[in-house]
């Protein structure tokens, strides 16, 4: 009575898929290279998630049903509507209007003109943008959150152009037009402000830090920490990637935000480098999410 699903994600490679042909037909029998045979019951089903079938043989394809999901069929409005239903009722109507006015064209800009650091799908772009909009109740806050959410996966140059475009759309006043990437939302004054180093950050007492060096809260660090803390909030906690070259401070940033919440456990795992600029991974594990720092 228990149904099991075996999900295979990746290319349908003939080197291994041919061994499953006998499992996919009426015999449901898997023969291993060692000669062992494993009989599968009718309650075991296979799902293959792949972007194309260019390497699959006709013998394999003929044994399976095919469901084609096109990027063109993705309904962005449906994703946004489902997300809005999870937001507090007192902000839903306000957010819905701002999203209608600015969010969709911002997503289109990022998808068509943005220079993505990590290739992602349209759904990923939309969810990146929505991830920073939780709890937004003013236009100024919405503007900053939109730049931080949708611009998080853009290169610095592309992010700067995107920020200028968003502030132009929303007509929000910015105290420093040259440093738009350092724009932040001032909750006390309900306006757009700029990140800067505070006097206490400029005079660190190293002897107060026993186990590690301090994380200097520069404008760049403050901006990144604000984005990470939103993703680690109990109500919005979710997996995310922090990507950057070796020595840029990924581990220090991850440790700083993780240690501020006792419910989060920081684990460090080194993985095989994909290229010279991505040679280690830092994982932040918590009750409701995992962070992978590359």
Query: Does one domain contain both 133 and 239?
Result: no
Query: Does one domain contain both 203 and 282?
Result: yes
Most confident of 139-148, 179-188, 213-222: 139-148
Query: Does one domain contain both 132 and 81?
Result: yes
pLDDT of residue 263: 54
Flag whether pLDDT at 113 surpasses 70.
yes
Lowest mean pLDDT among 46-60, 69-83, 135-149, 207-221: 207-221
Query: Does one domain contain both 122 and 43?
Result: no
Q: Which of 136, 162, 194 is the last residue of a domain?
A: 194
In the predicted model, what is the mean pLDDT of residues 159-180? 89
* 187 occurs within a structural domain: yes
Instruction: Give pLDDT tens digits for 65-81.
Output: 888 887 777 788 989 99
Query: Does one domain contain both 101 and 186?
Result: yes
Query: Does one domain contain both 185 and 78?
Result: yes
The model's confidence at residue 239, banded by pLDDT at 50, 70 and 90, is confident
* 22 occurs within a structural domain: yes
Query: Does one domain contain both 80 and 189?
Result: yes
Query: Does one domain contain both 169 and 78?
Result: yes
Query: Does one domain contain both 268 and 236?
Result: yes
Q: Which of 194, 209, 226 is the last residue of a domain?
A: 194
Flag whether pLDDT at 96 surpasses 90.
yes
Query: Does one domain contain both 190 and 101?
Result: yes
Query: Does one domain contain both 105 and 216?
Result: no
pLDDT of residue 288: 43
- Number of structural domains (the chain) is 3
The model's confidence at residue 15, banded by pLDDT at 50, 70 and 90, is confident
* 126 occurs within a structural domain: yes
* 78 occurs within a structural domain: yes
- The pLDDT mean for the chain works out to 80
Q: Which of 137, 169, 194 is the last residue of a domain?
A: 194
In the predicted model, what is the mean pLDDT of residues 175-198? 82
Query: Does one domain contain both 209 and 274?
Result: yes
* 66 occurs within a structural domain: no
* 67 occurs within a structural domain: no
| Domain range enclosing 39 | 4-61
Q: Any idea what the Cα angle at residue 188 is, between residues 186 and 191, rounded to 5°?
A: 40
């Amino acid at each position: 009575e228990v149904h099991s699903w075996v999900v295979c994600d990746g290319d349908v490679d003939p080197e291994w898929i041919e061994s499953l042909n006998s499992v996919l037909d009426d015999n449901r029998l898997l023969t291993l290279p060692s000669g062992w045979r494993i009989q599968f019951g009718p309650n075991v089903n296979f799902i293959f998630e792949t972007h194309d079938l260019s390497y699959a043989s006709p013998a394999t394809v003929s044994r399976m049903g095919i469901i084609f999901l096109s990027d063109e069929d993705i309904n962005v409005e449906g994703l946004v509507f489902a997300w809005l239903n999870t937001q507090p009722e007192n902000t839903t109507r306000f957010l819905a209007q701002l999203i209608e006015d600015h969010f969709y064209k911002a997503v289109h800009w990022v998808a068509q003109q943005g220079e993505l650091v990590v290739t992602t799908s349209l759904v990923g772009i939309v969810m990146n943008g929505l991830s920073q909009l939780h709890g937004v109740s003013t236009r100024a806050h919405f503007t900053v959150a939109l730049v931080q959410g949708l611009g998080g996966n853009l290169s610095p140059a592309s992010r700067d152009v995107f920020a200028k475009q968003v502030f132009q759309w929303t007509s929000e006043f910015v105290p420093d037009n040259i440093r738009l990437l350092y724009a932040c939302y001032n909750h006390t004054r309900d306006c757009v402000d700029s990140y800067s180093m505070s006097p206490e950050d400029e005079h660190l007492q190293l002897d107060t830090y026993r186990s590690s060096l301090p994380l200097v809260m520069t404008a760049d660090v403050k901006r990144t920490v604000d984005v990470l803390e939103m993703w680690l909030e109990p109500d919005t906690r979710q997996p995310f990637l922090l990507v950057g070259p070796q020595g840029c401070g990924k581990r220090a940033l991850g440790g700083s935000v993780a240690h501020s919440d006792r419910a989060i456990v920081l684990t460090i795992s080194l993985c095989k480098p994909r290229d010279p600029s991505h040679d280690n991974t830092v994982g932040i594990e918590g009750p409701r999410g995992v962070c992978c720092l590359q």
